[in-house]
Amino acid sequence: MKIVRYPEKSLWKSILERPHIDAARLGSTVSSILEDVKRDGDEAVKKYEEQFDHVCLQSLSVSKEEMDEAEQLVSDKLKDAILLAYHNIKVFHKSQLTSPSKIETQPGVTCWQKPVAIQRVGLYIPGGSAPLFSTVLMLSTPAKIAGCERIVLCTPPGKDGKVHPAVLFAAKVAGVSDIFKAGGVQAIGAMAYGTESIPYVYKIFGPGNQYVMEAKQQVSLHGVAIDMPAGPSEVCVIADENADCTFIAADLLSQAEHGPDSQVVLITTSEKTLTGVQQEVTAQLESLPRKSIASQALDNSKLVLVHDDDEAMDMANLYAPEHLIIQTDNYAELAERVVNAGSVFLGRYACESAGDYASGTNHTLPTNGYATSYSGVNLDSYFRKITFQHISSRGIANIGPAVAEMAAAESLDGHKNAMTLRMKSLSGN
């Protein structure tokens, strides 16, 4: 990890730059795959599954027999852990339900807003080197609470042609039945356009690598909504001189092991903490099974020493991290100053892993600085808000003249007439 001490503010942006690959090449590659899927459907998906996931599939659908087999393969201990996580995620997201309230903006003018579930949603669950069954719970649980009629889940199979048993068990727990063996760009294309096997959806959710993120952004330009730009994982830790260096190093490595394009950042006001974390990262890395992956991510990562809390918070808000851990004595005070972050973890015991799995908050969060303008997945992500209004004769009398005046001022006589005709009918003229 690169160490930066007391950088000038003008250098912060460059110091905090994320790793990236050539955008032009990325966009072109993704566009080509999406066009193939749009044109050739299942055939294209299977072709790319063989090319990228090294598996030859006869069918893209996960069968009932595969679901039943998976349940037998998951240990009771892991089942209990998944059920506990599901409970907490369900409780937290269910608390976000709201009841519509009617507001009278003027006597006789009543307006209200009604949340209506998106009927067809697609969930992308990354595979690769780690089966993210936790993401199944994070995406499908709020979808079921919201009342989405069709939930389509795509995830890459292993080389044996099967989906990881824990992924299928989590899907069963959360109530998802439409599960397909498709990963990467081809899965995003299948859910966006529909194939012979995989139905199209109205909105796509889920994290992924830079190719998946680019695919989501491309299909979002053509009628399909997406949750957010959610790419390679990242964490920023703010720490003071009393922070636990062992915990911080573990938190940094927990994100670094996601993938070589992940990034971790420490911002500290203490030279002692900076040195201690550096030593702990080196020591803990040696025993990490995913050492080679984490090591590549650490090459993109920074340990930054700043003068005070003001600089620490300003830098963190500029970075706008997916995950922000504040391990300082005054974490409650600093929490009030967070402006840009996907999810915040407070105190020495609130490790990011808790949010990834079982605290109840959602772990599908904006990355790459998009926390400046996007929220993480929540219950509202699965709703559209439709507004309603009812206007009585009294309401026409109260707002009619203003509507007619404004329409005339905009030279929209049709708009004006729609109101003045009603006004005249009520006045008897």
Would the CA dihedral through 141, 384, 209, 176 be positive or negative? positive
Confirm whether residue 222 is marked as ligand binding.
no
Question: What distance separates the 2 farthest-apart alpha carbons in the chain?
Answer: 88
Q: Is residue 87 annotated as a catalytic residue, yes or no?
A: no
Report which of 247, 218, 250, 252 is spatially closest to residue 233, judged by C-alpha positions: 252
Q: Is residue 17 annotated as a catalytic residue, yes or no?
A: no
CA distance 260 to 266: 18
Confirm whether residue 186 is marked as ligand binding.
yes
Query: Which amino acid, 407?
Result: A
> Which residue in the list 164, 257, 280, 323 is annotated as catalytic?
323
CA distance 408 to 412: 6
Read off the DSSP letter of residue 3: E
> Which residue in the list 93, 322, 352, 363 is annotated as catalytic?
322
Confirm whether residue 218 is marked as ligand binding.
no
CA distance 194 to 63: 19
Confirm whether residue 323 is marked as ligand binding.
yes
Confirm whether residue 164 is marked as ligand binding.
no
Confirm whether residue 415 is marked as ligand binding.
yes
Q: How far is CA 271 from the centre of its chain?
A: 34
DSSP sequence for 30-53: HHHHHHHHHHHTHHHHHHHHHHHS
DSSP sequence for 129-174: TS--HHHHHHHHHHHHHHT-SEEEEEE---TTS---HHHHHHHHHH
Confirm whether residue 233 is marked as ligand binding.
yes
Confirm whether residue 124 is marked as ligand binding.
yes
The binding site for Zn(2+) comprises: 255, 258, 356, 415
Would you please indicate which residues are annotated as catalytic (active-site) residues? 322-323
The binding site for NAD(+) comprises: 124, 186, 209
The binding site for substrate comprises: 233, 255, 258, 323, 356, 410, 415
The binding site comprises: 124, 186, 209, 233, 255, 258, 323, 356, 410, 415
